Chains A and B, each alone.
Chain A
Amino acid sequence: MTRRILARYGTALAGVGLFAIFAVTSPVFLTPDNIALILKETAFLGILAIGFTLALVTAEIDLSVAEVASLAAVVTGALVHGGTDPWIAIAAGLAVGTLCGAANGVAVTVLNVPSLIATLGVAAIAKGLSFMLTQGVAFVGRWPASFTGLARGTLLGVPNLIWWLAGIGFAAWLLVKWTRLGAHLVATGEADEAARLAGIRTRSMKRLALTLAGACAGLTAVLLASSLSSAAPAMANDHFLYAIAAVLLGMSMFEPGRPNIPGTLFAAFTLKVLGNGLVLLGAEYYWQDIILGTIILLSVALSATGTGKAPFVKKLNVRR
């Protein structure tokens, strides 16, 4: 029993412990402004990681999310900067993300390219397009409040970014845990052949998941551009390793060995707490990368053990 509880909640408890340590050691950590800052940072990472989680639910890995987000941000920024109606710019950003996700889906399910390679290819294309559109120069300016308010505004005293994260997180959780479509996504990831024999359109499920991952990248991009009033190539790249780490760390809690939305969100928050706490304690910047890499390694090692390997681990041919 204790072992089961530890397996489910051990990592989450460690995250709570980390929070407590920073709360005790740093006088600034628990201030409302700092907590709000952590939550806002969590929003960008969390939404990007939710997309990555959805792809991983179908046992596909989307390595393009950050570059796709950067491209979508650049497209959105270029349009806003050029005076286009902000709502059209937002729609364009979302569309770019969604189309890139759909391209990943087609490459994986129609061209039969492994997702690890297909998404790397799309990432490279997205990166090239970002630089082509900007010529390496960021779009910066005083953008309309109707656009910047998307991320910087508040609702009922709560920052919009937190509402966005809560809304997308809830929708994704509802989809995966409580809908027939979600059950088919999970079945596709857990046992592709069994799902296909049971009549589930597994290729469509993979296409859908990768498309949703792209859509999440598009939304992250729009929120980033809105929050920073700027758009530059590679602007979302800092979130790439964090997103992977959040999803993998999330798989070690609540539903061990499975990509799950609550785990991803809690892990994203924990990672941002860690980053924030280390800065407050004066740690050198490189410690964040070292810790991040360690978390990724340990998380995959955890997913490769236990009663059943996570399907994506089997795909990567990680042996024990």
Chain B
Amino acid sequence: MHAAPSAAERGLAASPRGRGLVGVRVSPPVTPLLSLRGIGMSYGAVTALRDVDFDIGAGEVVALCGDNGAGKSSLVKILAGAQAPTAGSIALDGANEKFRDPQDALRKGIATIYQDLAVAPRLSIWQNVFLGSELTRPPFGLLDKRRMAEMSRGFLARLAVDIADMETPVERLSGGQRQAVAICRALRWDARIIIMDEPTAALGVKETAQVLELIRRLQAEKHTVILVSHAMQDVVAVADRVVILRGGRKVQDRPVAGLTAGDLAAMIMQRAA
């Protein structure tokens, strides 16, 4: 892993740096890559999300935060194509989209990396990167293992992760390296939007730094990242913007610049007036 670039290198110096918890208005990106409008999700009598809307621009890192039960998981499932919203619409590049299943969302450019990484621990790196979308070669349509291994190495190189043997089972990798493999699967699909669900949960300090560096590299490659996290220091470290949910509603949507982890925690805990 390379050393983390400074805030200026990441372009944060030019960001608005207003302090305080109220009074900041956010202009939506000029050309939203992803637009949510009036998203609602009900499970019988329980309403998990109501009237949530926000825009995300290309290359943004947006943190999705909130306490347990705030509606983050429901929103992630909707974006990942794992469930359909009961209200509202999703637009990609201005065109309304409905995701039939996770594979459909993936094909349309949204990849989700779940908290447990959704990797097959005993399978090799290349097998995990190409899980469900293996490459074959003519004339017999047999697996092109060499090409998949080479491509996996290339994806990892893009993330500045150095692993010598692509046959290494994922269970032998560190937490940070496993995240990298999961991200490589998103890169293999050329996903424009990568949703990372609690990527640093259960990771040590060093591995967390590696994962944050991976997110910076994704942003440098113009990928949009939606970071779902309870780790406020991570949000402050890498996110451009934070969207806070409370009780299924969006209560904040503002730049992260100028905020501290403590500020964010206070915003999440703050009771609605």
Contact = CB atoms under 8 A, between A and B. Distances in A.
Given A178-B143, A190-B121, A258-B122, 7 more contacts: A186-B127, A187-B123, A195-B131, A195-B132, A199-B103, A307-B122, A307-B172
B123 A179 contact: no
A183 B171 contact: no
Interface string B164-191: 0000010110000000000001000000
B142 A200 contact: no
Nearest to A174: B142
5 contacts: A180-B141, A187-B120, A195-B131, A199-B102, A307-B122
Nearest to B120: A191
A35 interface: no
Interface of A: 174, 177-180, 183-184, 186-187, 190-191, 193-195, 197-200, 257-258, 307-308
B103 A179 contact: no
Main secondary structure of the interface of A (DSSP, over half): helix
A198 B118 contact: yes
B199 to A, nearest CB: 16
Rank and list the top 4 A-B pairs by shortest CB-CB distance, nearest first. Answer: A198-B132, A191-B120, A199-B103, A198-B131
For chain B, the bracket of interface size reads 20 to 34
Contact of A187 (B101, B103, B106, B132): B132
B54 interface: no
A184 B117 CA distance: 18
Contact of A194 (B118, B142, B169, B171): B118
B149 interface: no
B197 to A, nearest CB: 12
A205 B49 CA distance: 35
Contacts of A308: 121-122, 169, 171
A179 B141 CA distance: 7
A195 B106 CA distance: 14
B133 A193 contact: no
Interface string B118-130: 1111110001000
B238 to A, nearest CB: 24
Contacts of A199: 101-103, 106, 132-133
Contacts of B171: 307-308
Contact of B120 (A174, A180, A195): A195
Contact of B142 (A178, A187, A197): A178
A44 B191 CA distance: 49
Given A178-B142, A178-B143, A307-B171, A190 B118 contact: no
Contacts of A179: 136, 141-143
A279 to B, nearest CB: 39
A184 to B, nearest CB: 7
B76 to A, nearest CB: 12
A173 to B, nearest CB: 12
Contact of B134 (A180, A190, A193): A180
A193 B119 CA distance: 9
A37 to B, nearest CB: 36
Contacts of A257: 122
A183 B121 contact: no
A174 B136 CA distance: 13
Contacts of B134: 180, 183
B131 A200 contact: yes
Contact of B102 (A197, A258, A307): A197
